[in-house]
Amino acid sequence: MLEIRSARKVFHRGQPDEKVALDGLDLKLATGEFAVVIGSNGAGKSSMLNAISGALVLDSGSIVINGDDVSGLPVYKRAVRLARVFQDPMKGTAASMTVAENMLLAELRATKRTLRQGLNVKRLADYKERLALLGLGLENRLNTRVDLLSGGQRQSLSLIMAVGGKPDLLLLDEHTAALDPRTADIVMQATVRAVDALKLTTLMVTHNMQHAVDFGHSVVMLDAGKVRLEISGQEKADVTVADLIGHFAVKTDRMLLAS
Ligand X SMILES: Nc1ncnc2c1ncn2[C@@H]1O[C@H](COP(=O)(O)OP(=O)(O)OP(=O)(O)O)[C@@H](O)[C@H]1O
As measured in angstroms, the least distance from the Cβ of 249 to ligand X is: 17
Q: For residues 130 and 228, which CB has a smaller minimum distance to ligand X in the complex?
A: 228
E strand intervals along the chain: 2-11, 19-29, 34-38, 60-65, 68-69, 82-85, 169-173, 202-205, 218-223, 226-232
Q: For residues 38 and 187, which CB has a smaller minimum distance to ligand X in the complex?
A: 38
Q: Which of 179, 186, 121 is nearest to 160 (CA)?
A: 186
Angle between helices 181-198 and 151-164 (to 10 degrees): 10
Q: For residues 21 and 187, which CB has a smaller minimum distance to ligand X in the complex?
A: 21
Beta-carbon-side half-sphere exposure of residue 88 (alpha carbons within 13 Å): 4
As measured in angstroms, the least distance from the Cβ of 251 to ligand X is: 13
Where does this chain bind ligand X (CB under 6 A)?
Answer: 11-12, 19, 21, 39, 41-47
As measured in angstroms, the least distance from the Cβ of 224 to ligand X is: 9
Start-to-end CA span in the chain (Å): 41
Report DSSP state, residue 174. S
Q: For residues 47 and 93, which CB has a smaller minimum distance to ligand X in the complex?
A: 47
> Do the beta carbons of residue 201 and residue 31 sit within 8 Å?
yes
Q: Which residues make Cβ contacts (< 8 Å) with residue 81, sequence separation at least 6?
A: 65, 66, 70, 167, 168, 169
CA distance 70 to 68: 6
Q: For residues 126 and 230, which CB has a smaller minimum distance to ligand X in the complex?
A: 230
Q: For residues 52 and 149, which CB has a smaller minimum distance to ligand X in the complex?
A: 52
As measured in angstroms, the least distance from the Cβ of 194 to ligand X is: 24
As measured in angstroms, the least distance from the Cβ of 122 to ligand X is: 41
CA distance 36 to 213: 9
> Do the beta carbons of residue 145 and residue 58 sit within 8 Å?
no
As measured in angstroms, the least distance from the Cβ of 11 to ligand X is: 3
